[in-house]
Amino acid sequence: MKLLIDKELNSTDKILKPDFNSRTGRELLVFYLQTKFRQILSFDRKCSTPVFIDVNPNFIGKFSKRLINNPSKRLLIGITGESASGKSTICHEIKKIIEQFKMPVSVLSTDNYFNDISALIKQFGSFDNLRDNGYDVDAPTSFQLDILKSDLELLAEGCDIMAPMYLPNGTGISLPRSQEILSNKIVVVEGIATMYEEVQDIFDIKIYVEADNTIRKDRFISRACNERNNSVENALKHWDYIMSAGEKYVKPFRNEADLVLNGNADLMYFSEILEYIHAITNNFQ
């Protein structure tokens, strides 16, 4: 991928920067991006561990129409996948590239839209007891999807929002309107709730991240024990829950995704793809 980046940056055969305010200019840009995206896919297929597992055959045409017909709307990218699939890691890599190239992008996690269950946790004594008594943590009804939908619609139209903040400390507390999210040109939204039916159609690009279950389990147990001070026994119990919940609530949306990404892929290679995308969208004559 570095070869493609260097070739792009050093090429003397560049197109004039289109006038994005005109339909003709946007059509030229879209044709250019389609060509480059197919180049990325062709290169990726030859890699030992490709990033792109699957691409919806309707994606390029649908996204092209969106860019041409509605250029002023913010670009919303939704990233979902089962727990420990690598979606948060991919988002962190995106954020790193964003900061490196000073791109106008905001990042939002749907985990902050969990319902406030602090009263239930007090009633049952702990989060684990609440889960063991049947509380379905990852069900759509466990999220404030009405607020999430409203916030996403505002972001898409260029309005900044104050999103809730869910405290990941076992208390189940959700603080309303506690973190400012700017409506930048690109808004990346990550979490298992991203593709729930109530909100999935808001996104311009839908990404599903998947990884081998053995790798996911190792990641999950390590994170639960080392970062959240869980016992191995409790971590394994919660792993059994998220495997069941993932099959029920998250995995069905794989078929709705525009892109299916490999959560086991080399992050350095993934960052190079992002760097190349930045190069082709900013390297005009």
In order of 18, 60, 67, 155, the CA distances from 21 in angstroms are: 9, 21, 11, 21
Digit-coded pLDDT (tens) for 23-57: 888 888 888 888 888 889 998 999 889 999 999 99
Digit-coded pLDDT (tens) for 168-185: 888 999 999 999 999 998
Question: What are the DSSP calls for 139-173, one per residue?
Answer: SGGGB-HHHHHHHHHHHHTT--EEEEEE-TTTT--
Name all domains of the chain by residue range, CATH numbers in brackets.
Answer: 52-264 (3.40.50.300)
* Model confidence band, residue 283 (pLDDT cutoffs 50, 70, 90): low
Mean pLDDT of 146-151: 98
Tokens coding 105: 């992008």
Residue 2 has pLDDT above 80, yes or no: no
Of residues 9, 12, 206, the one with CA closest to residue 101: 9
Predicted pLDDT at 229: 76
In order of 78, 88, 106, the CA distances from 164 in angstroms are: 18, 18, 15
Element (H, E) at 68: helix 59-69
User: What is the rounded average pLDDT for all residues in the chain?
Assistant: 89
Residue 97 has pLDDT above 60, yes or no: yes
Predicted pLDDT at 209: 95
Q: How far is CA 50 from the centre of its chain?
A: 18
